[in-house]
Amino acid sequence: MCDSCHCTETTKSDSEKKIIEVHESLFAANNEKALANKKLFAAAGAVVINMISSPGAGKTTLLEQTIDHLAGTLSIGVIEGDIETERDADRIRAKGVPAVQITTGGACHLDAGLIHTGMHKLMAQGNKFDIIFIENVGNLVCPASFYLGEDLRMVLLSVPEGSDKPAKYPGAFKTSDLYAITKTDLLPYFDFSMEEARKEALQLNPELQILELAAPKGTGLSAWIDTLQNLINGKN
């Protein structure tokens, strides 16, 4: 009974207020999907690498060179994330490797749900892979917050971006296992300090393995290929 007019409507009293303790991560849904992805990756027999960098640091170029080196010896699959266009997937397909393009239509990162869908599409093109590369959306910040279920996370930093970037954008460096400094052929033209780029990243994450690459020139590629091979051997 409502006490102001005695109608039969009940009024809301404080006792109807409920406080619910939830204590659940807002990334929980993503992390659950990432664990489901891990099962898909295992079913495909693949080790999976999540590549993170700012736009243009050389992710697709490194993939093209890697494919040239490994074609015939390993079976490779690629999931490409971009805001728009099929262009990166087309570059990979041109090398004869199965590729799925995910366009986020604006979102600045890939999440585990998008990879789950992408992975089903990739498996329609081949059911066993030695290695699957996920090229994240070009962005040095947001992708670091989203675990995709990958075995190895790598961050790429290109010489023209500047050696102060690990300290300024720590997230990706803190959460990665491997750090590739790319476009080292351009060192003579930029004030990039290799010492700063290494030291400040290692301060954030002492476990980081560091590679120096100039992929189109072949520089550093053998150390990179060794890393991939060790990763695959470690999984088998």
Partner 1 sequence: MHEFSLAQNLLGQLLELAAQHQARKIIRVEVQLGESSNIVADSFQFGFDVLSKENEICRSAKLVLQPTAGNDLILAQVEME
Q: Which is nearer to ligand GTP, 55 or 126 (CB)?
A: 55
Angle at 196 between CA 190 and CA 202, to 5 degrees: 140
Our CA dihedral for 35, 36, 38, 42, rounded to 10 degrees, sits at 150
User: Interface with partner 1 includes 114 (CB under 8 A)?
Assistant: no
Taking CB under 6 A as the binding criterion, the range among 10-18, 21-29, 105-113, 181-189 that sits at the site for ligand GTP is 181-189
Distance separating alpha carbons of residues 1 and 6, to the nearest angstrom: 6
User: Interface with ligand GTP includes 86 (CB under 6 A)?
Assistant: no
SS3 76: strand
Q: Find the distance separating the first CA and the last CA of the chain, reported in whole Å.
A: 71
Q: Which is nearer to ligand GTP, 102 or 123 (CB)?
A: 102
Identify residues 142-161 at the interface with partner 1 (CB under 8 A): 142, 144-146
Q: Using only the alpha carbons of the chain, give its radius of gyration.
A: 23
Taking CB under 6 A as the binding criterion, the range among 26-34, 58-66, 141-149, 192-200 that sits at the site for ligand GTP is 58-66
Point out the residue whose Cβ comes nearest to ligand GTP.
138
User: Interface with Mg ion includes 60 (CB under 5 A)?
Assistant: yes
What's the token pair of residue 218?
Answer: 């072949």
Closest CA to 64 of 149, 126, 133: 133
Binding site for ligand GTP (CB under 6 A): 53, 55-61, 88, 138, 182-183, 185-186, 214-216
Binding site for partner 1 (CB under 8 A): 12, 16-27, 29, 107-109, 139, 141-142, 144-146, 170-171, 174
